[in-house]
Chains A and B, each alone.
Chain A
Amino acid sequence: MNTIALVGNPNSGKTTLFNALTGSNQRVGNWPGVTVEKKEGKIKFKGQIYTIIDLPGTYSLGSFSEDEIVARDFILKDKPDVVINVVDATNIERNLYLTTQLLEMGVKVVVALNMIDEAKAKKIEIDINTLSQKLGAPVVPTIASKKKGIEELVSKAIELMHKDVDFKAHISYGENIEREIENIKKVLKDVKLDYPTDWVAVKALEKDQYILKELEKTHNSDISSLLKNLEEKEEDYVLEVIDKRYEFINRVTNEAVKLPNDNIETISDKIDKFVTHKFLGLPIFALIMFVVFQLTFAIGQDFLGGYVGTAIEILGSAIETLLGSLNAPDWVISFFIEGIIGGIGTVLEFVPLIVVLYMLMGILEDSGYMARAAYIMDNIMRALGLQGKTFISMIIGFGCNVPGVMSTRTLDNKKDRMIAILINPFMSCGARIPIYLVFISAFFPEHGGLVLFSLYFLGIFIALLMAKIFSKTLFKGESSYFIMELPPYRFPTAENVLRNMWDNVSEFLVRAGTTIFIVVAVLWILAMLPVGVEPYSQNSILGRIGTIIAPIFAPAGYGTWQAAVGLFSGIAAKEAVVAILGMVYAGVEEGTALVTAIQSAFTPLSAVSFMVMTLLYTPCAATLGVIKKETGSIRWTLFSALYSFTIAWLVSVLVYQVGSAIGLG
């Protein structure tokens, strides 16, 4: 038959080798019954034609994918005369797992140690003779991409093809497993199977579902009782068999392979010593976040914000000139210049800030630092008797509380989940940023970064405090234990950071614009009714609603109907608060008029108090919806809405009253 099968891990250079062997003399089809591609080619060696079959790339020969089953079925059922196992020399240990499984099958194997040049460049030293001796199979170094070693490989494969040798694996499974293998072999002795008995015995111990089904199909009572017996045994043979394969590989590589720079600390390890340090970790985290907020204002407002402002002014003048030259009525000019350019313009001026903040947070995530931040917080949370994984949902909550609440699904017990759900809305989501920015512009333009930083940390502090209170009162019990994975640090590339930025920003503008428009439209109608009332006045329906609610906020320093209406609209969507404040304070959507109106309606202290309220009070409708869905309880949803409002009110009043008492008012 003269068939040679090529088998190897994905990316081991198997296809390159196949192409190097067969050139254009190949044919592509499909394996019967599956969608896996079948490649077949011919080679001529010393006057003889040989068929080469390129088997699907696979890491092992189990039954977990079509590729694995196709590869092993071909080897065991179609019985090629020899198997060339392509091994990536730069990743030899991992690749040898497949080799070990081939050796277990008892087939004739030649190892093509491919990419040997790259291994040398990486200072991986491989002793070919020792490797061959330890594996019990010939090993030929190759560089398929440069067609080096191909002739020798084919020659070795053909030599082996005609040799009568007994290819037996040199793997010792240990006394226990060897005994079980012998027992199984005895039962299988008289059963006709398409596979070698030794191999089936190992696979049965490995609980290979495909093989177990094949055995069941025999309807042999001895096999049935054997399978039942295996099922009932406490020993995990699956683990033992796999472990023995790794032990075998380890023994082989210990003698035949020398890896470079063993036991040398990587840069990631060195950085981690500082950033995950017991005492330094938290201050470093705080410092990094402070720098992020400072940079947000420096780049987003002072630099980009100026350009956007100028662009809007130029656009406004151009439209005014155009409309004037077209003799448009005054109300049309007013609508476009004051309404559209004035209103949307202010939103646009905040966009660079929001985009820069998200971009910087994205850089932290891409670099791998956010996993360290979660680890640092995990330690703190554990010290407080809380589930550290909660902090991961809190980090997500910084973007939006809806996915933040949903991500609590990864928490195991109900106690941890409920606490994580209830504290997530204290994480300052992106939709609250424009509210802070209006108040920062009005009162603290020089200290924007510090104000934003303080608000975010206040949110974390209140969340941790409430989590501790909940775990001591409402949800007692043990937290489950988990370990966090710290990925290696990566330098975020400019391409990654800026990729799709324009698409992302325009999508954000459309989504935020739509939400704001819907909430503003509903509240605008309430501000116009009843008919004949002065628009946006206290006598409108909106004004009357605000007047009823306003006294609640008086102790916090902003007991006006306008502030009350603004906060009320935030329960629908936090993005809409600024637009509503603009509507009720200045009679226009937003614009510089809003900042001026805020300056006269608030004091710096009541502004801080209002921002604290915004940070902590009732979550938006979408978040409440997801809390209802995740807890399955209206009671807990109402509890979340009311308790967060109460906490926000208490902290806001505390800020205002203490501030006033010490003369900050």
Chain B
Amino acid sequence: MIKEVLKEIKDSKYISKASIARKLNTTEDVIEQIFSELIRMGYIREDNTKSCNMKCNGCSFASLCNRVPINTIMITEKGKKLLNRQSF
């Protein structure tokens, strides 16, 4: 299942946990959990705009800005190696 999720990440244009869940016949919560495992094991890396420690203190507009994070996923070298090793 974990490898299938990694392959889905590789093959998708964008990540929708709901559609990966549907494709792998499981639930979005399970996919969420697998994403956490993949991140913890170092196969993928997740970045979001909140993780850059933005310093808005000096800006007059800081209080008006919404800053909803946008998530991006990157397959790490370790992840790429695994995908190459597996014959999907």
Contact = CB atoms under 8 A, between A and B. Distances in A.
Interface of A: 59, 64, 91, 93-94, 97, 236, 238-239, 242-243, 246-247, 249-250, 253-254, 259, 262-263, 266, 268-269, 272, 276, 354-355, 358, 361-362, 365-366, 370-371, 374-375, 389, 392, 395-396, 399-400, 402-403, 406-410, 412, 429-431, 480-488, 503-505, 507-508, 511-512, 515, 575, 622, 626
A484 B66 contact: no
A430 B70 CA distance: 20
Interface in B49-74: 49, 51-56, 58-68, 70-74
B72 A407 contact: no
Given A259-B27, A370-B68, A406 B54 contact: yes
A358 B68 CA distance: 13
Given A243-B1, A505-B64, A485 B37 contact: no
B55 A392 contact: no
Given A259-B27, A410-B52, A370 B60 contact: no
Nearest to A503: B63
Given A236-B82, A268-B16, A358-B61, A365 B68 contact: yes
Contact of B65 (A247, A259, A358, A480): A358
Interface in B28-46: 29-30, 32-34, 37, 40-41, 43
Given A247-B1, A366-B68, A511 B62 contact: yes
Interface string B19-31: 1001001110110
Nearest to A396: B49
Contacts of B7: none
Given A266-B18, A485-B17, A486-B15, A400 B72 contact: no
A483 B58 contact: no
B72 to A, nearest CB: 5
Contacts of A410: 47-49, 51-52, 72
B59 A403 contact: yes
B41 A392 contact: no
B30 A93 contact: yes
Interface of B: 1-3, 9, 12-19, 22, 25-27, 29-30, 32-34, 37, 40-41, 43, 47-49, 51-56, 58-68, 70-75, 82
A586 B42 CA distance: 62
A123 to B, nearest CB: 13
Contacts of A94: 27, 29-30, 32-33
Contacts of A400: 56, 59, 61-62, 65
Nearest to B1: A246
Contacts of B60: 430-431, 508, 511-512, 515, 575
A253 B29 CA distance: 14
A298 to B, nearest CB: 19
B30 to A, nearest CB: 5
A431 B74 CA distance: 34
B66 A366 contact: yes
List the 3 closest pairs (A to B, CB-CB), nearest first. A246-B1, A403-B54, A512-B60
A483 B54 contact: no
Contacts of A269: 16, 18-19
Contact of B15 (A64, A395, A484, A507): A484
Given A358-B64, A402-B55, 8 more contacts: A94-B33, A242-B37, A355-B64, A402-B54, A484-B73, A488-B18, A511-B62, A622-B59
Contact of A371 (B22, B70, B82): B70
Contacts of A431: 60-61
Contacts of B64: 354-355, 358, 399, 430, 504-505, 508
Given A354-B64, A484-B72, A396 B47 contact: no
Contacts of A59: 33
Contact of A409 (B14, B19, B52): B52
A407 B60 CA distance: 18
B86 to A, nearest CB: 11
Given A91-B29, A94-B29, A239-B43, A482 B54 contact: no
Given A91-B29, A389-B72, A512-B60, A243 B2 contact: yes
Contact of A239 (B2, B18, B19): B2
B14 A375 contact: yes
A399 B65 CA distance: 6
Given A94-B29, A389-B72, A483-B73, A268 B61 contact: no
A483 B49 contact: no
Given A243-B3, A268-B18, A484-B70, A399 B61 contact: yes
Contacts of B1: 243, 246-247, 250
A293 to B, nearest CB: 16
A361 B61 CA distance: 13
A505 B43 CA distance: 43
B25 to A, nearest CB: 7
Most buried by B among A268, A481, A486, A507: A486
Nearest to A402: B59
A343 B25 CA distance: 63
Nearest to B64: A358
A370 B70 contact: yes
A370 B65 CA distance: 13
Contacts of B26: 93, 250, 253
Nearest to A266: B18
A358 B15 CA distance: 27
A402 B58 contact: yes
A246 B27 CA distance: 12
B27 A407 contact: no
A97 B27 CA distance: 13
Contacts of A480: 74
Contact of A374 (B19, B63, B70, B74): B70
Contacts of B27: 91, 93-94, 259
B50 to A, nearest CB: 9
Contacts of A370: 68, 70
Nearest to B80: A481
Contacts of B43: 239
Contacts of B67: 365, 396, 399, 403
A484 B17 CA distance: 11
Contacts of A507: 62-63
Nearest to B34: A246
A480 B34 CA distance: 23
Contacts of A276: 13-14
Given A399-B61, A410-B51, A481 B3 contact: no
Contacts of B62: 400, 507, 511
B54 A272 contact: no
